[in-house]
């Protein structure tokens, strides 16, 4: 089986690539990634020795490059996207280009090349902020930010390719992932890496916005099930069991690293900041999916990973050596 993974040098895509290389020894995986600011070459360097792994540097907005990569592939798992909500507020255009036009290019190439499965990776943010209950796959789309709106647009175009052309599309919408290899612009790695360095932790608004956390490996096992057992034309939510307000997660990080709670600083809120996301994942559970990790254990593993891999994130922050690195390993 030949699988093309777009965005495989990013957070979830690289965790998924690792998961698949371990589980399916006879699959040949090709990562197609533009290596934007969100990626890190070190993330995928570890795969390079594996004979079942291939890397193509390419942009999903470049249709010719996309066609060349898609030819001969059996399945596509499409992660590549601009993924950070704050950036979509300060510069929305790249989100429309990559998430809408780029996804269109992927779908069109998949149709022309007769790909047998197209797994489109979407997000719980397309349902918008919800006051109570949990979002189900059939709920209306009510996205807030340019990011979530671009993702909702891409979902609709993907479904149109199933309905109109019979392209075997399946969609997953997952909740907030956390774990190794997440860019330190995102809440959890930002707070962990700043707490490691005893820097202030900028908590938006009143800190009571709620996110539905899922450990990235649990998302990967859900994606694997949808890729192999999901019904064409269907959407599957992939949500963790835990809902927490940001303030509680921030305190948990500060506590685990034995830092001072005074590091937490309330700052100006994000524009149109969605208050709460929560997913009902019973449809995926009926296919046999069960998350493996408890939140407390998984956040511990995550903190440990960032503490052990400071070289990986220091580069992404544009720093050579951190205060933490110096105090632990001496001056360089």
Q: Minimum distance from CB of 186 to ligand NAD (Å)?
A: 7
Residues in the chain: 332
Q: Which of residues 30, 237, 246, 281 is near ligand DAU by CB under 6 A?
A: 246
What are the φ/ψ torsions at residue 33 (nearest 5 degrees)?
-150, 140
- Cα-trace Rg, the chain: 19
Q: Are 125 and 63 in contact (CB under 8 A)?
A: no
Under DSSP, the state recorded for 291 is: -
Q: Are 131 and 281 in contact (CB under 8 A)?
A: no
Binding mask 210-229 for ligand DAU (x = CB under 6 A): -x------------------
325 catalytically annotated: no
- Does 172 contact ligand DAU by CB under 6 A? no
- The token pair that represents 140 in the structure block: 């209306």
- Does 316 contact ligand DAU by CB under 6 A? no
Cα torsion for 134, 139, 143, 147, to the nearest 10°? 80
Q: Which of residues 81, 157, 220, 298 is near ligand NAD by CB under 6 A?
A: 81
Q: Which of residues 123, 153, 172, 302 is near ligand DAU by CB under 6 A?
A: 123
Q: What angle do CA 169, 174, 177 make, to 5 degrees?
A: 135
Q: Which of residues 134, 151, 259, 283 is near ligand NAD by CB under 6 A?
A: 151
Binding site partner of 18, from ligand DAU, ligand NAD, none, Cβ cut-off 5-8 A by kind: none
- Pick between residue 81 and residue 119 the one whose CB is nearest to ligand NAD: 81
For 86: left if phi > 0, alpha if psi spans -120 to 50, otherwise beta; the answer is alpha
Binding site partner of 277, from ligand DAU, ligand NAD, none, Cβ cut-off 5-8 A by kind: ligand DAU
Q: Which residue has the tokens 């600083």?
A: 265
Q: Minimum distance from CB of 300 to ligand NAD (Å)?
A: 19
124 catalytically annotated: yes
Q: Are 119 and 170 in contact (CB under 8 A)?
A: yes
Residue ranges in 59-78 that form contacts with ligand NAD under rule CB under 6 A: 59-61
What are the φ/ψ torsions at residue 212 (nearest 5 degrees)?
-100, 95
Q: Are 99 and 149 in contact (CB under 8 A)?
A: no
Residue in the shown chain whose Cβ atom is closest to ligand NAD:
10
181 catalytically annotated: no
Q: Which of residues 17, 30, 39, 209 is near ligand NAD by CB under 6 A?
A: 39
Q: Are 76 and 9 in contact (CB under 8 A)?
A: no
- Pick between residue 81 and residue 226 the one whose CB is nearest to ligand NAD: 81
Cα 265 from Cα 253, distance rounded (Å) = 14
Instruction: For residue 80, give the nearest of 34, 149, 27, 144 by alpha carbon.
Output: 34
Kindly write down the DSSP assignment for every residue of 182-227, as one continuous string: --TTSHHHHHHHHHHTT--EEEETTS--EEEEEEHHHHHHHHHHHH
Residue of 147, 161, 306, 325 with catalytic role:
147
Q: Which of residues 54, 84, 111, 136 is near ligand DAU by CB under 6 A?
A: 84
Choose the binding region for ligand DAU from 65-73, 203-211, 218-226, 300-308 (rule: CB under 6 A): 203-211
Binding site partner of 190, from ligand NAD, ligand DAU, none, Cβ cut-off 5-8 A by kind: ligand DAU
List contacts with ligand DAU (CB under 6 A). Answer: 83-85, 123-125, 175-176, 186-187, 190, 202-204, 209, 211, 246, 270, 277
List contacts with ligand NAD (CB under 6 A). Answer: 6-7, 9-13, 33-36, 38-39, 59-61, 79-83, 98, 102, 121, 123, 151, 174, 176-177, 183
> Could you give the residue numbers annotated as active site?
124-125, 147
């Amino acid at each position: 089986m030949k699988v093309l993974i777009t965005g495989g040098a990013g957070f979830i895509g690289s965790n998924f690539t690792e998961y698949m290389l371990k589980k399916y020894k006879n699959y040949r995986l090709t990562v197609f990634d533009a290596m934007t600011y969100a990626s890190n070459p070190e993330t995928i360097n570890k795969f390079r020795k594996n004979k079942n792994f291939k890397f193509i540097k390419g942009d999903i907005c470049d249709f010719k490059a996309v066609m060349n990569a898609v030819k001969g592939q059996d399945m596509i798992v499409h992660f590549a996207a601009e993924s950070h909500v704050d950036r979509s507020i300060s510069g929305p255009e790249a989100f429309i280009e990559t998430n809408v036009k780029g996804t269109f290019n992927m779908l069109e190439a998949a149709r022309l090349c007769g790909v047998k499965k197209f797994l489109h990776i979407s997000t719980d943010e397309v349902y918008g902020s919800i006051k109570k209950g949990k979002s189900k796959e059939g709920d209306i789309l009510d996205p807030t930010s340019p990011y979530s709106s671009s993702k909702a647009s891409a979902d609709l175009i993907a479904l149109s390719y199933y309905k109109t052309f019979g392209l075997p599309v399946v969609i997953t919408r997952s909740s907030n992932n956390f774990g190794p290899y997440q860019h330190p612009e995102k809440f959890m790695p930002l707070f962990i890496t700043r707490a490691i360095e005893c820097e202030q932790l900028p908590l938006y608004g009143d800190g009571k916005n709620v996110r539905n956390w899922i450990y990235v490996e649990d998302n990967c096992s859900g994606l694997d099930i949808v890729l192999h057992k999901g019904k064409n034309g269907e959407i599957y939510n992939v949500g963790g069991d835990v809902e927490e307000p940001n303030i509680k997660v921030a305190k948990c990080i500060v506590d685990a690293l034995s830092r001072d709670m005074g590091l937490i600083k309330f700052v100006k809120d994000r524009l149109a900041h969605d208050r709460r996301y929560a997913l009902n994942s019973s449809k995926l559970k009926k296919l046999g999916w069960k998350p493996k990790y408890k939140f407390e254990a998984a956040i511990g593993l995550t903190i440990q990973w960032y503490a052990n891999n400071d070289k990986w994130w220091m580069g992404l922050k544009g720093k050579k050596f951190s205060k933490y690195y110096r105090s632990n390993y001496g001056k360089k």
